[in-house]
Amino acid sequence: MFSFGGGSSLTSVAPDATPAPAAPPGTGTGANAQVLYVFNRGGVCLLYREWHRPLRTLDPTQDQKLMFGLLFSLRSFTAKIDPTTAEKGNLGVPLLPGQGCSFYCFKTNTYKLNFLESPSGIKLILITHPRTGDQRDTLKHIYNLYVEYVVKNPLYAPGTPIKCELFNKHLDQYVKTLI
């Protein structure tokens, strides 16, 4: 099963799709945050955090490149097939934040990818359990933590990996409320 959520919606169900796994114990709200990525507009991974990732199949650098490539392709694809605008642009051409049709999630039978892009081009990706509800408010809260503890930090150099202890502490505390 593969479905999108956003301005346009596509649903494609494989005939032999397996059911979603049961929610892990302790996921009262079903949110079950597993992994968070934060990318800048240039594709540099500023933050990678894991809370519950049962299996690692790639090294972190490959994983981050694949994730950013997936986001780039999905944004381009959803803008290209947007039925509400005649200006389609070329597939693969970078879009400005807020330009074109966008998506906010997609779901498979084993995980759900939740996505938020800020006006400045910061991209937040939260991987959750597939039965998780809408996580746009969660991502907005995480973005607000990023602004408060990273962007406003005079010691932080934009474009470098996030190593702010206060941000990590507040992020972990917030994520614990989701599980």
Question: Can you list the alpha helix ranges (DSSP code H) found in the chain?
Answer: 60-80, 136-146, 165-178
The confidence score (pLDDT) of residue 139 equals: 94
Please tell me the pTM assigned to this model: 0.74
* Cα–Cα distance for residue pair 52/73, rounded to 1 Å: 26
Are 137 and 22 in contact, with CB atoms under 8 Å apart? no
Average pLDDT of 1-19?
Answer: 39
Does 31 have pLDDT greater than 90? no
The confidence score (pLDDT) of residue 24 equals: 43
Average pLDDT of 155-162?
Answer: 92
* Cα–Cα distance for residue pair 80/87, rounded to 1 Å: 9
* Cα–Cα distance for residue pair 123/97, rounded to 1 Å: 10
The SS3 call for residue 102 is coil
Q: What is the pLDDT of residues 108-156, one digit of tens each?
A: 998 899 999 888 889 999 998 898 888 999 999 999 999 999 999 999 9
Please name each of the domains of the chain with its CATH number: 33-81+99-178 (3.30.450.70)
φ, ψ of residue 91 to 5 degrees: the values are: -60, 130
Are 46 and 40 in contact, with CB atoms under 8 Å apart? yes
Does 28 have pLDDT greater than 70? no
| Best CA proximity match to 124, nearest among 145, 101, 108 | 145
The confidence score (pLDDT) of residue 142 equals: 95
The confidence score (pLDDT) of residue 124 equals: 95
The confidence score (pLDDT) of residue 141 equals: 95
Q: What is the pLDDT of residues 43-98, one digit of tens each?
A: 999 999 988 776 677 788 888 999 999 988 887 777 777 777 666 555 555 555 55
49 forms bridges with which residues in the sheet?
A: 36
Does 105 have pLDDT greater than 60? yes
Q: What is the pLDDT of residues 74-84, one digit of tens each?
A: 877 777 777 77
Interacting residues of 16 by C-beta distance below 8 A, sequence separation 6+: none
Length of the chain equals 179
The token duo for 116 is 């938020």
* Cα–Cα distance for residue pair 169/179, rounded to 1 Å: 16
